[in-house]
């Protein structure tokens, strides 16, 4: 988004700002842009989100943030990593920034999921996905190193920053971990994470691909106060089941070398129209507020499942319309059969892998059943979902006997 006209170039760093301003100025009186830089529907979307009065302006004002589109969350995460890596390089002089070159550490969290591509797989502490793929351990003194810590552990996080100080380039975090089993960090963890990143000048990258609009708010990265990262990636629900799209929202001073970020799928008009219509619908129908209220009732009813089936479930956690039921050690080997039984009884649920073995002597994290109703679900739907899960679990137990 350009501060002078309120529009966005097609992608971060893809067009020179002076050219963008010149084109927009010549067409501004008509209220839209029709050339290759920005279409009318793209401009309308970005204005409705980021300009003053926009839905996300308080969090991401257009004067301080710019945005780029991709077709998937994985591609969005790759662009976020590229933005972080570019801070180590002086593109004008074509040499390393002396005060950033030593920042070779990227912090990620155990059990996280950030995508399938080779770059994103390097951010997973799962040997199954990483073995046999290229990594940075080839003796290159300028290659980056990914370090994994258990999620939600503030003391361990503080110790890590104390030991690494000025070597941390970026921290990549899901505000609520998805594949790890819908893990919600304790109050204060995310705020402290943001504080440590700010003090040590490390970039905070929020992976909100899964959590976008699912936790009772547009963004899940918040504690007792909203937490604003340097880069935010959103996707999945953003396309409302119609168009594949993700957005990368980054501080304006973060960019990439010219032409380096061009993407064919960047904010295409059809995808922009879908996103704008969808977000408008969420706001006008107050679906986020409703999911926040009904999400508390969903949590209570899932908690009752925990009490009713203690041999099947060990933990119930979540927020809004994003919840998880972690399996016990005894039930974990039968996660697939349990899920199929629940599906057969009418509730669409998914199986999350769990974080598995965790460091620092923390308990093993087993797979979880993800319960994530659509935002249009009302109280009757919530009742039927839990009733179906209950029946599916009971049928699974009966069959096991």
Residue-wise pLDDT for 3-36, tens only, equals 333 333 333 333 344 444 544 454 454 444 444 4
C-beta of residue 196 within 8 angstroms of C-beta of residue 231: no
Using a 10 angstrom Cβ sphere, with 0-12 exposed, 13-18 middle and 19 or more buried, the burial of residue 303 is: middle
Mean per-residue pLDDT for 366-374?
A: 97
- 287-400 placed in CATH 3.90.1150.10: yes
pLDDT at 160 over 70: yes
pLDDT at 268: 87
pLDDT at 225 over 60: yes
What are 70's strand-pairing partners? 246
What is the C-alpha separation between 190 and 149, in angstroms, rounded? Answer: 14
Looking at per-residue pLDDT, the higher value among 137 and 347 belongs to 347
C-beta of residue 371 within 8 angstroms of C-beta of residue 302: yes
Percentage of residues in the chain having pLDDT higher than 90: 70
What is the C-alpha separation between 313 and 331, in angstroms, rounded? Answer: 8
- Residue spans of beta strands (DSSP E) within 166-264: 168-173, 203-208, 231-234, 246-251
pLDDT at 257: 76
pLDDT at 30: 45
Q: Where are the domains of the chain?
A: 17-284, 287-400
SS3 content of the chain, % helix, strand, coil (to 5): 35, 15, 45
The mean of the pLDDT values for the chain is 87
Contact partners, residue 390, CB within 8 Å, separation at least 6: 305, 308
pLDDT at 141: 65
Looking at per-residue pLDDT, the higher value among 326 and 100 belongs to 326
Residue-wise pLDDT for 312-346, tens only, equals 999 999 999 999 999 999 999 999 999 999 999 99
pLDDT at 125: 76
What top-level class would CATH report for the domain 17-284? alpha beta
Would you state the structure tokens that stand for residue 8, as one six-digit string? 């966005």
């Amino acid at each position: 988004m350009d501060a002078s006209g309120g529009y966005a170039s097609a992608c971060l760093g893809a067009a020179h700002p002076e050219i963008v301003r010149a084109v927009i100025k010549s067409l501004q009186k008509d209220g839209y842009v029709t050339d290759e830089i920005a279409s009318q529907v793209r401009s309308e979307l970005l204005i409705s989100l980021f300009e003053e009065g926009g839905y996300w302006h308080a969090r991401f004002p257009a004067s301080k943030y710019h945005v780029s589109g991709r077709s998937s969350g994985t591609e969005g995460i790759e662009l976020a990593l590229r933005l972080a890596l570019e801070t180590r390089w002086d593109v004008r002089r074509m040499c390393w920034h002396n005060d950033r070159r030593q920042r070779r550490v990227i912090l990620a969290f155990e059990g996280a999921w950030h995508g399938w591509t080779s770059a994103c797989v390097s951010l997973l502490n799962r040997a199954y996905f990483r073995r046999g793929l290229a990594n940075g351990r080839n003796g290159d003194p300028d290659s980056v190193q990914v370090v994994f810590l258990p999620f939600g552990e503030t003391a361990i996080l503080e110790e890590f920053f104390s030991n690494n100080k000025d070597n941390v380039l970026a921290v990549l975090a899901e505000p609520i971990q998805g594949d790890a089993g819908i893990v919600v960090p304790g109050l204060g963890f995310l705020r402290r994470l943001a504080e440590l990143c700010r003090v040590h000048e490390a970039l905070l990258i929020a992976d909100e691909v899964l959590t976008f609009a699912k936790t009772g708010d547009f963004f899940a990265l918040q504690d007792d106060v909203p937490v604003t990262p340097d880069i935010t990636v959103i996707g999945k629900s953003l396309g409302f089941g119609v168009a594949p799209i993700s957005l990368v929202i980054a501080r304006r001073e973060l960019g990439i070398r010219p032409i380096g970020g061009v993407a064919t799928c960047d904010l295409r008009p059809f995808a922009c129209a879908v996103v704008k219509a969808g977000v408008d619908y969420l706001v006008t129908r107050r679906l986020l507020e409703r999911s926040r209220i009904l999400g508390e009732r969903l949590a209570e009813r899932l908690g009752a499942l925990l009490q009713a089936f203690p041999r099947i479930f060990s933990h119930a956690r979540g927020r809004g319309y994003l919840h998880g039921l972690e399996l016990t050690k005894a039930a974990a080997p039968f996660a697939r059969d349990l899920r199929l039984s629940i599906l057969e009884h009418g509730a669409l649920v998914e199986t999350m892998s769990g974080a598995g073995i965790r460091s620092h002597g923390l308990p093993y994290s087993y797979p979880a059943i993800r319960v994530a109703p659509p935002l249009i679900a009302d109280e009757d739907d919530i009742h039927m979902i839990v009733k179906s899960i209950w029946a599916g679990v009971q049928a699974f137990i009966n069959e096991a006997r």
